[in-house]
């Protein structure tokens, strides 16, 4: 996952560089191709959001260690800034593909995002209330990887490995 996050960070950084050289349509409907005006327009509009979205927060967290978890949480929350770019992507998608297909794709991505957020909340509820009635505790017992409740404050509680393949009835190599 660190490699994939690194690739995504690099793609966002390349996009920032390309936006300094990409023409745009001015307020009068004319295409602006003057490099100086393009750079100033980008710096005034989307540069800060794009810069925040391309910083490698995972690398910063790795070098920081577990000394200050609040700063680590802030860095992780700043990755949500990438969602602000979704509005620009929607406008560009509308120009390149049929509106119905674009709407369908965006609607599916929206549902996937909401499902991911709900799954995160569901996991957080299960891990914060870890007792014999918790769904995580029961899942651990069902798949023969039980949680050790005597070490509740410890980071090594045992239990199922996090990941999408833990829900499958078979193991993926």
Decide if 116 is inside a domain: no
Number of domains, the chain? 1
Decide if 68 is inside a domain: yes
Decide if 17 is inside a domain: yes
* β-bridge mates for residue 24, sequence order: 32
Decide if 44 is inside a domain: yes
Decide if 114 is inside a domain: no
Distance, CA of 28 to CA of 145 (rounded, Å): 64
In Å, the largest CA–CA distance within the chain is 68
Domain hosting residue 17, numbered range: 1-95
The three-class DSSP label of residue 56 is: coil
Decide if 88 is inside a domain: yes
Q: Is the pTM of this model over 0.75?
A: no
Decide if 61 is inside a domain: yes
Helix H or strand E encompassing 24: strand 24-25
pLDDT at 100 over 90: no
Decide if 167 is inside a domain: no
What pLDDT digit, counting tens, does each position of 9-56 carry? 788 888 889 889 988 888 888 999 999 999 999 999 889 888 877 777
């Amino acid at each position: 996952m660190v490699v994939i996050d690194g690739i995504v960070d690099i793609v966002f950084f390349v996009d920032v560089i390309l936006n300094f050289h990409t023409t745009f349509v001015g307020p009068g409907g004319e295409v602006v191709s003057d490099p100086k005006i393009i750079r100033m327009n980008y710096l005034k509009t989307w540069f800060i959001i794009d810069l925040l979205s391309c910083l490698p927060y995972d690398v910063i967290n790795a070098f920081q260690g577990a000394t200050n978890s609040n700063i680590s949480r802030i860095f992780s929350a700043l990755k949500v800034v990438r969602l602000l770019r979704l509005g620009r992507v929607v406008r560009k998608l509308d120009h390149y593909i049929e509106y119905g297909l674009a709407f369908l794709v965006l609607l599916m991505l929206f549902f996937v995002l909401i499902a991911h957020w709900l799954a995160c909340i569901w996991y957080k509820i299960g891990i914060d209330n870890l007792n014999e009635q918790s769904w995580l505790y029961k899942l651990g017992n069902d798949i023969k990887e039980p949680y050790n409740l005597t070490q509740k404050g410890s980071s090594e509680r045992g239990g199922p490995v996090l990941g999408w393949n833990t829900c499958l009835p078979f193991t993926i190599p």
